Structure 1
Amino acid sequence: MNIYIKEQSIKDPLSHCQARPLKIALFSGNYNYVMDGPVRALNKLVSHLEKKDMNVLVFSPTTKNANFKHAGTLISVPSLALPGRSEYRLGLGIRGSVQKKLEQFDADLFHIAVPDYLGYSALKLAKRWRIPAVSSFHTRFETYLKYYNADWAKEYIIKYMRYFYNSCEHVYAPCKSMAQELAGNSMGKDVRIWSRGVNRSVFNPSMRNIKWRKTLGISDNDIVVGFVGRLVLEKGLDVFVETIKYIENRGINHKILIVGEGPERYALQKRLPKAIFTGFLEGNDLAKAYASSDIFFNPSQTETFGNVTLEAMASGLPCLCANATGSRSLVVNGQNGYLIDPNNVPLYAQTLTKMINNPKYRKLMGNNSYEKSKRYDWDSILESMIKNYRQAILSYQKCQINNLNMQNSLHVPSIVNPAE
């Protein structure tokens, strides 16, 4: 059997891979048409790689109108609207002119950021072309199913995810708690942490704006409970609403500030008619909304990291979160906020009431949040990804060379004595 190994894998000294610029092919289900946490991280990564003279080609579904200006070179792949969540697209694989562009690019590494059919197609091509593939874990698809009456598919999804992630050299989880869960579920033979950073020059307590609060009808004495994120069921919106109604019925002084857009906005406005909805915000406007709040409330059980929680921490807010992956790596119970059993609405309400009624402790926890956020620096985090890439390539090359040597040793030709 013939084994094709890229020429540089054998000919070039392995140490050479440590110095030269790399060519990375990145595959994502969304790169520029919906702004969310994974997309922010991937665009940050591509921007950093290009600053380091890396050559990056991104393959993703696109829409007629991009939501924002993306980093790097983007190749559109065929796609269709995702059933039940039409704002997202489902990639239909790699073929035709898209495959030709990918082949001509001659990547050193495939970074697959989505385990859908686009990711599966990329994984198959990586195997066929003998290119190392790594994957980053962004979405807990198996936890979404219960919100869309599809729990029947959970076993199949988990089985497929095991196959997919175990086929990659590395799997990058955004935090320790998510990495532990992946490893515990046998999803990935080498699970590593690719954390997230926060821009503290934008997100910080100095962005608090009393005038802005007043334009929204918020007085100096009002305690603002903030929520930031996509307005979708899997963000824990039912628990959020039930908790707020619980404290409303007990006359606890508060204002609700909801930042974000999504398919559940209309229903959420009907359920929380007193809440203030700002719609989608970004940059300084988003930073102002965080810092002008007093408590950050994130009841999502589906986070893989929690970018919004980190931004709230950098803005000096105490955080009330679900005791689940992502939040568990950011919030230390009783130090910079509280972690609550995910579906325990009475405990959420009691804890939120305690936070509202205790300004001194709220301030102390907010200061702790701000200090803890200083650990999350984008430059050092993204630089570690380049090291991970190089290590993945090196280990793959060594494995291919070992396999080739083993095959050669099994096919030693017999020696014929010409004198016989």
Structure 2
Amino acid sequence: MRVALLAESFLPHMNGVTGSVLQVLKHLQREGHEALVIAARSGDADPERTASLHGAQEALLRSVPLPSYPQVRVVFARAARLTAILREFRPDVVHLASPFVLGWQGLAAADALHVPVVSVYQTDVVAYARRYGLPRATAVAEAHVARLHRRSTLTLAPSSASIGQLEALGVDRVRRWGRGVDGDRFHPDRRSDAWRARTAGADRIIGYVGRLAPEKQVADLKALTGIDDARLVIVGDGPSRPELERLLPDAVFTGHLGGTELAEAVASFDVFVHPGESETFGQTLQEALASGVPVVATGAGGPLDLVRSSVDGWLYRPGDLVDLRARVSDLLGDDAKRRAFGVAAREGVRDRTWEVLCRQLVEHYEDARRLRPIDDALLLRGAIRPDVPAATSSARSWSTYVALGDSITEGLCDASRMPAGNYRGWADRLAQLLAHTTRAPGPFRFANLAVRSRRVRDLVDEQLPRALELRPDLVSILMGANDLVGHTVDVRALAAQVERSVRALRDAGSDVLLVTPFLPHRRAARLLARRFAAYNSELRRIARDTGSILLDLDSQPAIGEPEMWAADKVHLRSRGHRFLAYRAADVLGVPDAEALSGLDAAFHVDDDPAPSGGWLTRDVLPWLWRRVRGRTAGDGILAKHTAYVDLPTGEGRSRVRAT
């Protein structure tokens, strides 16, 4: 793969953005990918810089320093110039690292070449503008961030707080992608008694690492002055350093540290403090945790996902400096607790390696490459693009679930480990996943009202009334494919019927999982692609307008691969049903759904029985004969679970319960 990385901030200025880009370059080289870095020109080239690029090409552009912060440089390159650079490199994907000015120009260049764009949200420029007291600039920044990320093929955000911020700005298609930590460099073994003695004498050390700028709120650390036998040590540099040195005359300012010097300093802290409320992630917190140092951080932004309060540190109330002092004093005053928190801190980040994170990043690149052609095709028709679900932290506590739909939801052709004539299906599999993760007391209750060959009118006339009688917490709807393959269809009228059904369920208090119909990747299916795209665009609007949960399978192209489909070429085989169940579980917030999916697949050699007879005589001719007679495969078929089935949340057997 050929990856062009546009870095808003880069060498020689080291910060979180630069560090992430360097780690990505290292991984891309190790995996045999080719990379190009486009960044601001700053100073002369040197051998160390060249080595740090890990074999990547580099295109440096003229830049100007920010007046109040000369280490940060801004590139004002013409989009035409960037287009020429990208055209020559021929990237498969463009990676925008913390995009704002250069990122916007790069986005325009990528659009001109129809190259997918992955934007990595790392800097909360909106909060920075607000912190600097610029109300007009804040509104401009919000509009710019929203516009830029909505145009990106995919946006990666490092924390649940930053995902929520982007979604509040109307940004769609946001995925969680955190940051790795170098667990070898940042390690408890780096702790140095000699460093501690040189820096703070016999005092315990309250440490901070980061840029010294107003948005970091380092001045809040004044609340920690005067704690007995403790010394505040501040590592880092920036425009606020002179003012902070006057404000904190007893603190030790080390200036910028890097490499093993930084690792030694962090591991030598007793407590790490982080007062900034506008962090999208908080890499220095992660490095402190890897060093076995408990963290006290503000309960806002990125720290919410990194610090396990009362396990490996404390989260104090944002802006409550009395609480900050109390939390730090608590850890300094209890050696046993501080040691226990430190051990938990190291264990908590053991698996957050850059290798794992960069493998995830390459998977996001692949998703963007699949999505870009779909986006371009939909844009020509004025349709809404498919949305990639954001990762959610945990499943809601549903206790009752009803599935509505046709043969796909009934489970036709999913005979894996089922008695003859019985089918399982994605919805039944999803119900079991939800049952094992529910926090509600008692059994998990499930009904499947889907029947093969049913259409949207059957959803409205038969399945919806029964679903409303059952009063479920959660309802899934996958319906419309049988209508869309008909001779003629009014897509908008069809979607309007679905919308009325969704609104009725939402008004009754049910959450709704709306699933977009899909087609196999076969030449014949292309004749129906336009209808399906238009219908799915309507479903996206319905989900947005009704507050429903959307599983958008247009953003999961693997569902169309031949190995997902049964021998009849119109239904999913067991592998396809498993794929669909775990994608649904993921969007519903089932913990570790992706990992469980891989584990489940490892236990299955696809055990679908080999069908007898040829496709024409076995599948096509019976279908034609039913059509001639005005019949369907679902005539006389009843839903397999018209009443609730109780699924135990622990060991035990399911039992039918009349309702």
How does 1:191-210 map onto structure 2 within 5 Å? 191-210=174-193
| Map of 1:214 onto structure 2 | 197
Task: Give the superposition deviation at 1:231.
Answer: 1.2
Equivalences for 1:205-354 in 2 at 5 Å?
205-219=188-202, 222-241=203-222, 243-245=223-225, 248=226, 251-354=227-330
In 2 relative to 1, CA 29–399 (structure 1 residues): closer, same or farther, beyond 3 Å? closer
Aligned partners of 1:93 and 1:119 also within 8 Å: no
Could you say which structure has the greater relative contact order, defined with CA pairs below 8 angstroms and 6 or more residues apart? 1
**Structure 2 residue ranges without an equivalent (≥5):** 384-525, 528-659
| Distance across 1 between alignment mates of 2:239 and 2:374 | 48
1:375 aligns with 2:389: no
CA distance in 2, matches of 1:96, 1:159: 24
Distance in 1 separating the partners of 2:79 and 2:380:
29
* Correspondent of 1:394 among 364, 370, 381: 370
Structure 1 match to 2:57: 73
Provide the rounded CA distance (Å) in 2 between the counterparts of 1:37 and 1:403.
35
2:115 pairs, out of 113, 120, 131, with 131
Q: Output the amino acid matched with 2:372.
A: Y
Map of 1:100 onto structure 2: 84
Q: CA deviation at 1:298?
A: 0.5
Report how far residue 44 of structure 1 moved. Answer: 0.5
**Structure 2 match to 1:112:** 96
Structure 2 residue aligned with 1:46, among 15, 22, 25?
A: 25
Paired with 1:383 and 1:96, the residues of 2 have a C-alpha distance of 32
Corresponding residue of 1:183: 167
Distance 2:381 2:147 in 1: 27
Select the residue among 9, 17, 29 that pairs with 2:8: 29
Deviation string, structure 1 residues 228-263 (Cα, Å, up to 9, x no partner)? 11111111112122x123xx1xx5220111111112
| Cα displacement (A) at 1:309 | 0.3
**Distance apart, 1:341 and its partner CA:** 1.9
Q: Which residue of 2 aligns with 1:165?
A: 149
Tell me the distance in 2 between the aligned counterparts of 1:57 and 1:400: 25
Distance 2:311 2:164 in 1: 23
CA contact (8 A) 1:90 1:116 kept: no
Q: CA deviation at 1:289?
A: 0.6
Identical aligned pairs, as a percentage? 26
Q: Which residue of 2 aligns with 1:15?
A: none
CA distance in 2, matches of 1:263, 1:117: 22
- 1:225–1:294 CA contact under 8 A, matched in 2: yes
Output the CA distance in 1 between the equivalents of 2:375 and 2:267: 50
The aligned counterpart of 1:60 is 39
The one-letter amino acid paired with 1:244 is L
Query: For the residues of structure 2 that align with 1:268 and 1:387, how far apart are their CA atoms?
Result: 43
SS of the equivalent of 1:216 reads helix
* CA spacing shift, 1:361–1:164, aligned 2, 3 Å: same
How big is each residue's C-alpha offset from its partner over 1:331-377, in whole Å with a ceiling of 9 and x where there is no partner?
01111111112211111112222221111111111111111011311
Which string of whole-angstrom CA distances, capped at 9 and with x for unpartnered residues, describes residues 361-398 of structure 1?
A: 11111111111011311111101111110111012124
Q: CA deviation at 1:152?
A: 2.8
Q: Structure 2: how far apart are the matches of 1:332 and 1:233?
A: 26
- Helix, strand or coil at the partner of 1:281: coil
Q: Deviations over 1:270-300 (max 9, x none)?
A: 2212111221111211111111110000111
Q: Take 1:332 and 1:267, find their aligned partners in 2: how far apart are those partners?
A: 33
Q: Give me the whole-angstrom Cα distance separating, in 1, the residues matched to 2:180 and 2:370.
A: 27
1:92 Cα deviation from its structure 2 partner: 0.1
Identify which range, 313-322 or 71-80, moves more after superposition.
71-80
Radius of gyration: which is bigger? 2
The alpha-carbon deviation at position 101 of structure 1 amounts to: 2.6
**Residues 1:96 and 1:404: Cα distance change in structure 2 (over 3 Å):** closer
- Structure 2 Cα separation of the partners of residues 216 and 171 of structure 1: 42
For residue 201 of structure 2, what is the amino acid of its counterpart? I
TM-score by length of 1: 0.85
**Alignment partner of 1:385 is 2:385:** no
Who is 1:17 aligned against? none
Cα-Cα RMSD: 2.2
Alignment of 1:147-166 (within 5 A): 147-166=131-150
Whether the 8 Å CA contact 2:79–2:109 is kept in 1: the answer is no
Using the size of structure 2 for normalisation, the TM-score is 0.55
Number of equivalences: 380
**Which sections of structure 1, spanning at least 5 residues, go unmatched?**
1-21, 410-420
- Residues 124 and 97 from structure 1, CA distance in 2 versus in 1: closer, same or farther, beyond 3 angstroms? closer
Q: CA deviation at 1:93?
A: 2.3
- 90-99 or 390-399: bigger deviation: 90-99
Q: Helix, strand or coil: the match of 2:178?
A: coil
Shift of the 172–96 alpha-carbon distance from structure 1 to 2, 3 Å rule, reads closer
